[in-house]
Amino acid sequence: MGVKMNRVVVIDALNMFIRNYIVNGMISTNGNPVGGAVGFLNSLKKIMRESNPDQVIIAWDGAGGSQKRRQTVKEYKQGRKPLRKNYEIEGMSEQSQKENMVWQQQILMEMLNEMPIIQLVLDKVEADDIIAAVVQSPRYKGWQKVIVSSDKDFLQLLDSETVLYRPIQKKAWTKKTVIDEYGISPENFVIARAIAGDKSDNLVGIQGAGLKTISKRLAFLCEDKMHTLADVRQFCEDTNAKVKFYSNVVEGWDTVETNYQVMNLTPPSISVQGRHKINYALENFQFELNATGLKKASVSHGFGSYNWTEMLTMFRGMIEKSKQSA
């Protein structure tokens, strides 16, 4: 019988908050919209129920998180459409709604601090890089890492120990899933994405180079082997130039290299000091639960009727497991 792997769930916090914010128009007894925060708590509860984790880590985008990537690509993440909510808030200006959205995130972070979970945030660092640093950390070698996000960027991190749960699809992506779906292995997925571009992040790709075309023209990217940009360029230069795909890639090589620099999460774009902060937080984490503080916070913020029973039971189970494994 095999040894059961410990499991750490790593959540892309803003991604999960936004998904709930746009669909949950709950108003607190204080008259404030709180659907993003309450929906996040419900999603966290569901994830814990389904995954039974030994640890939960929540990663937030830091202030100016995209700054380093914008220095590489000025237009990075520009031109995104405004959030479209599934509800209307009467009597609130657009500015007030923006302020409320920030406030909801702040109260959510305060409540998460009362739970036996790790919150990570670094100025000028995106959550993507923090999550990549966590799953690549030697501390979690031998653990199953479950990334929770709808972001495709994380597919490049999947291996025998790491999976991506995409809540919108309600689907867990494994290394095999990526190969079956795209014909590209996770270790080479960032190269394929650098060629294809990413409209959601305003990164222009090579004309006529979608992921299906890339998997056909660069079939070796499905191999269980990490290829380099140099491998791809050499292959395109050596292959029949009558096929427009190959000449397009070579002619647009500066774009491919720039996209790769922006998209690549191995290694993550974090300073040595930032890595030390993450490692310190992981190594010095204490499983502590302040149930009274949670209930008081929910009352003061106008959703005192929130049912904490199941979540508190699961947290106490996590704490007990940590004591047994200590």
User: What's residue 276's pLDDT?
Assistant: 96
If we measure between CA atoms, which residue out of 6, 267, 282 comes closest to residue 128?
A: 267
Token pair 């394929």: residue: 192
Q: Using the predicted structure, report yes or no on whether residue 1 has a pLDDT greater than 60.
A: no
List, for residues 160-171, the tens digit of each pLDDT value. Answer: 999 999 998 999
If we measure between CA atoms, which residue out of 17, 19, 150, 14 comes closest to residue 86?
A: 19
List, for residues 309-318, the tens digit of each pLDDT value. Answer: 999 999 999 9
Q: Which residues contact 229 (CB under 8 A, 6 or more apart)?
A: 191, 194, 256, 257, 260
| Mean pLDDT, residues 6-18 | 97
| Mean pLDDT, residues 86-110 | 91
DSSP string, 111-137: HHTTSSSEEE--TT--HHHHHHHHHT-
Phi, psi of 59 (to 5 degrees): -110, 130
List, for residues 35-74, the tens digit of each pLDDT value. Answer: 999 999 999 999 999 999 999 999 999 998 777 787 888 7
User: What's residue 154's pLDDT?
Assistant: 97
Domains and CATH numbers, the chain: 7-175+267-325 (3.40.50.1010), 180-263 (1.10.150.20)
List, for residues 221-251, the tens digit of each pLDDT value. Answer: 999 999 999 999 999 999 977 899 999 999 9
| Mean pLDDT, residues 13-32 | 95
If we measure between CA atoms, which residue out of 135, 180, 141 comes closest to residue 153?
A: 135
pTM: 0.94
Residue-averaged pLDDT of the chain = 94
List, for residues 117-137, the tens digit of each pLDDT value. Answer: 999 999 999 999 999 999 999
